[in-house]
Structure 1
Amino acid sequence: MRTAVLGAALLVVGAVAVAVGVLTPADLLALVERVAPILGFVVALTIVAELAAEAGLFSWLASFAARAARGRVVVLWLAVVLLAVLCTVFLSLDTTAVLLTPVVVLVARRVGLSPMPFALTTVWLANSGSLLLPVSNLTNLLALHELGSPSPLAFAALVAPAALVGIVVPVAAVGLRYRRQLSGTFAPPEHEPAGDRVLFAVAAASVGLLVPALVSGIEVWIPASIAAVVLLVVTAFRKRDVLRFGLVPWGTIVFALGLFVVVEAAHSLGLATLLGAAVGSGESLPDLLRLAAGSAAAANVANNLPAYLALEPVAGSPLRLVAVLIGVNIGCLVTPWASLATLLWHARLSSMGVSVPWGRFMLAGLGLVVVSVPGAVLATVLLS
């Protein structure tokens, strides 16, 4: 609700900017044409993820991982790592934060383990692991426009070195911090069949077919919308009571749209010039480190989405744009508000009675950012 209210306020500011001529109708139309497919994809993918969760797909995957671990905690944790990476890369960071977090917490509790190593793994990989594909993060989808709309595989090739660092560093950090808790054993849970086998099969098939479609080169909103419609129709017949207005993240959509309009208006007033002086120019290693550090700082002061929108015009080249993405994706691990995914993750944990000590969380996040952001930039320079 707070997100929706803030988004509405931003839209009012944007409307004023249009009314006084700061933002022309032509600029507004061009902005809508750019962001409409992106927001449509977010809506469709959220519906797919929510209905797949209602069908029991994510719970089944987590339980399968627990049984496959054969009682070894470290194997179970590594399975969670793999699941978090795959979910983030192919179904977006918000899917991991919203749907995978409660699943891994429940599995940890069912086998008598502390949920914190699994919860931290989920939120850190949801954010810093969201660099590899356009669908992994809304900032990546926005970057496609500046990069000339490359194929998903071409985008992945450009960011792969940085993406690898963004995955390895948090995994290593959790492994070292919780090495004692992750070295024990547990009793594997019993197999629980799906409540509705037909709905489960349709959800598994929809997600299974959607994943390769998202990297096929087709505009991502098309396969996501098809999968969403299929699941909506089948769910309407099999489990109608789960269909609700709240399936669509209206607050997030309004908030994102408001940010787009306000930042576009700010650019018309010279925001790019101001930021360009702060983050510099050039493609040397020091230049890219300065840009990535500035992007990370902006993300943690405000939020990674407006930080990207503000800094996009001062990138100027694919390599510098990757540095911006490194800063806003991998670098948004310090403050809770730096990423909507972190706020959604915290809301899920709070609803399950898991407390998060924000002081320790921010300190640990700062340590990760200090290592991973420069490491990702260095990997990009050396391996691109």
Structure 2
Amino acid sequence: MDLTLALLALAAVLLFALIRPRNLPEAVAAVPAAGLLIAAGVVTPKDAWAEVLDLLPVVGFLAAVLVLAKLCDDEGLFHAAGVAMARRSAGDPRRLLVTVFVIAAVTTAVLSLDATVVLLTPVVLATARTLGVPSRPHAYATAHLANSASLLMPVSNLTNLLAFTTAGLTFAHFTAIMTLPWLLVIAGEFILLRLFFRRELAVAPTGDTAPPPAETPVFVLVVLGLTLVGFAVVSLLGASPAWAALGGAVVLAVRALIRRNTTVTDLARSTNVPFLAFVLCLGVVVTGVMRHGLDTAMRDVLPLGTSFPALLGIAAVAALLSNVVNNLPAVLVLLPLVVAAGPAAVLAVLIGVNVGPNLTYPGSLSNLLWRNVVHGEGIPAPFLEFGRVGLVTVPATLLLGVFGLWASVEVLGV
């Protein structure tokens, strides 16, 4: 009975998050669901509080990164990225795709996947319209890279932050191990998307191909560079990377407030408190599911060991589970089950929950956010088309990512 109630609560939370009726925040369903499970005794108050405490550092870091991304946008970073795309492409759709891949991969890695979806995707679409080239190949590039290019650093994705705290690696070690998987996955995505959209990429431009004046937001780039260095330094000191993210956000916030480019209210709004509450409450709901049988069922399915076949099996299970229940609950379910096998198994889960969601819209919340963005720009992206593109890329990139992980672990160790 307890497992049934927990599963129903999880299904209700995820369904609400996927549909977002009247654009209400995900917390509208997650907070009552968590409260119900605690009141019904499915999750004890002690277990719920322990889960919240475990997630608080991750949630705090996420809030800092969201503010940092918003301030980077205010400083003109993404507008400058659009100018760079237009200049580098010179009206060639294929060259534009290359530039989109580079900028989207770096944006996702440094500022997280939300920045790629919400801030970069509209810029990419506007650039394609200005040049008079098809938008779909470049739009799908941002959708896929928002997920798969988030493999590189702990700061790139909420799932990464969860895996980072579980794996017990330093920031630098985590990034070193994930560099090869990140590069191989991005290369695979590029080759396969270019083949899939080869006809649209061969279309001649019909818009303005004259290169606009170059823009270089030096101050924000320097702050971001120092923030990345800070991530590695605070990790070596045993502190949370959230402090480095907070430092970068404070520097940009003070500058923006002095220049009156933002307000304290805008900064507070950019932390997206309802989404942070959703993450905490989702963790409580998943705890209820795990404590009443799902952990045993999933443990029977997961392969054992850290050989290449075992890592590939773990990633495949994670990818499939992500497309059934979304990647955030999937990583919360799977990490406790593989932690005993070591960091390699934890990172295999990460590859599955970051690459796998490119298969279906429910795979990650960023997919649904991207769908809203492109629909608002007048680009149809039906469910079947999204899945068809995913079928072309996900199996190959999952294999490439796991191979890169296995090779990196063999060379660098964990």
What is the TM-score of this pair, normalised by structure 1? 0.89
How do residues 108-257 of structure 1 correspond to structure 2 at under 5 angstroms? 108-148=128-168, 150-183=169-202, 184=204, 187-191=209-213, 202-218=219-235, 219-237=240-258, 238-240=260-262, 244=266, 246-257=269-280
State the Cα distance separating 1:100 from its structure 2 match. Answer: 0.7
From the superposition, tell whether residues 241 and 142 of structure 1 become closer, same or farther in structure 2 (CA, over 3 Å): closer
1:187 is paired with a residue whose SS is: coil
Which of 100, 111, 124 is residue 91 of structure 1 equivalent to?
Answer: 111
State the match for 1:197 in structure 2.
Answer: none
State the match for 1:381 in structure 2.
Answer: 406
- How many residues align? The count is 378
Q: Which amino acid aligns with 2:256?
A: T
From the superposition, tell whether residues 236 and 217 of structure 1 become closer, same or farther in structure 2 (CA, over 3 Å): closer
From the superposition, tell whether residues 102 and 269 of structure 1 become closer, same or farther in structure 2 (CA, over 3 Å): same
From the superposition, tell whether residues 46 and 282 of structure 1 become closer, same or farther in structure 2 (CA, over 3 Å): same
Paired residues of 1:131 and 1:159 also in contact (CA < 8 A) = yes
Q: Which amino acid aligns with 1:337?
A: P
Which of 321, 337, 340 is residue 298 of structure 1 equivalent to?
Answer: 321
Paired residues of 1:6 and 1:255 also in contact (CA < 8 A) = yes
1:331 is paired with a residue whose SS is: helix
Paired residues of 2:31 and 2:281 also in contact (CA < 8 A) = yes
State the Cα distance separating 1:178 from its structure 2 match. Answer: 2.8
In the alignment, the residues of structure 2 paired with residue 242 and residue 187 of structure 1 have an alpha-carbon distance, to the nearest angstrom, of: 40
1:191 is paired with a residue whose SS is: coil
Which of 304, 326, 339 is residue 351 of structure 2 equivalent to?
Answer: 326
Q: Extract unaligned runs of 5+ from structure 2.
A: 1-19, 410-414
Paired residues of 1:67 and 1:189 also in contact (CA < 8 A) = yes
State the match for 1:283 in structure 2.
Answer: 306
Mean Cα deviation higher: 346-355 or 86-95: 346-355
In the alignment, the residues of structure 2 paired with residue 70 and residue 352 of structure 1 have an alpha-carbon distance, to the nearest angstrom, of: 23
What is the TM-score of this pair, normalised by structure 2? 0.83
What are the superposed Cα offsets for residues 348-371 of structure 1, whole Å, 9 maximum, x if unpaired?
A: 112222221321111110221222
Matched, 1:51 2:71: yes
State the Cα distance separating 1:286 from its structure 2 match. Answer: 3.5
In the alignment, the residues of structure 1 paired with residue 212 and residue 384 of structure 2 have an alpha-carbon distance, to the nearest angstrom, of: 37
What are the superposed Cα offsets for residues 94-151 of structure 1, whole Å, 9 maximum, x if unpaired?
A: 1111111011111111111111111111111110111111111111111122212x22
In the alignment, the residues of structure 1 paired with residue 111 and residue 323 of structure 2 have an alpha-carbon distance, to the nearest angstrom, of: 24
Paired residues of 1:4 and 1:252 also in contact (CA < 8 A) = no
Two-structure CA RMSD over aligned residues (Å) = 2.5
Paired residues of 1:169 and 1:368 also in contact (CA < 8 A) = yes
In the alignment, the residues of structure 1 paired with residue 145 and residue 358 of structure 2 have an alpha-carbon distance, to the nearest angstrom, of: 10
State the Cα distance separating 1:4 from its structure 2 match. Answer: 5.4
In the alignment, the residues of structure 2 paired with residue 118 and residue 167 of structure 1 have an alpha-carbon distance, to the nearest angstrom, of: 14
Matched, 1:340 2:357: no
In the alignment, the residues of structure 2 paired with residue 64 and residue 161 of structure 1 have an alpha-carbon distance, to the nearest angstrom, of: 26
Which of 7, 31, 39 is residue 11 of structure 1 equivalent to?
Answer: 31
In the alignment, the residues of structure 2 paired with residue 379 and residue 192 of structure 1 have an alpha-carbon distance, to the nearest angstrom, of: 36
Paired residues of 1:85 and 1:129 also in contact (CA < 8 A) = yes
State the Cα distance separating 1:330 from its structure 2 match. Answer: 0.8
Mean Cα deviation higher: 95-104 or 205-214: 205-214
What are the superposed Cα offsets for residues 56-98 of structure 1, whole Å, 9 maximum, x if unpaired?
A: 2111122023213444443332121111111111111111111
What are the superposed Cα offsets for residues 256-279 of structure 1, whole Å, 9 maximum, x if unpaired?
A: 122111112222223211111122
1:130 is paired with a residue whose SS is: helix
Paired residues of 1:170 and 1:368 also in contact (CA < 8 A) = yes
State the Cα distance separating 1:193 from its structure 2 match. Answer: 6.8
Matched, 1:263 2:286: yes
Q: Which amino acid aligns with 1:287?
A: A
Q: Which amino acid aligns with 2:244?
A: P
From the superposition, tell whether residues 177 and 366 of structure 1 become closer, same or farther in structure 2 (CA, over 3 Å): closer
Paired residues of 1:331 and 1:373 also in contact (CA < 8 A) = yes
Paired residues of 2:52 and 2:283 also in contact (CA < 8 A) = no
In the alignment, the residues of structure 1 paired with residue 188 and residue 305 of structure 2 have an alpha-carbon distance, to the nearest angstrom, of: 27
Paired residues of 1:4 and 1:255 also in contact (CA < 8 A) = no
Q: Extract unaligned runs of 5+ from structure 1.
A: 195-199
State the match for 1:356 in structure 2.
Answer: 381
In the alignment, the residues of structure 1 paired with residue 400 and residue 261 of structure 2 have an alpha-carbon distance, to the nearest angstrom, of: 47
Paired residues of 2:178 and 2:408 also in contact (CA < 8 A) = no
State the Cα distance separating 1:6 from its structure 2 match. Answer: 4.1
In the alignment, the residues of structure 2 paired with residue 51 and residue 383 of structure 1 have an alpha-carbon distance, to the nearest angstrom, of: 35
Paired residues of 1:151 and 1:217 also in contact (CA < 8 A) = no
In the alignment, the residues of structure 2 paired with residue 270 and residue 216 of structure 1 have an alpha-carbon distance, to the nearest angstrom, of: 40
Q: Which amino acid aligns with 1:117?
A: P
From the superposition, tell whether residues 193 and 286 of structure 1 become closer, same or farther in structure 2 (CA, over 3 Å): closer
State the match for 1:367 in structure 2.
Answer: 392
In the alignment, the residues of structure 1 paired with residue 183 and residue 283 of structure 2 have an alpha-carbon distance, to the nearest angstrom, of: 29
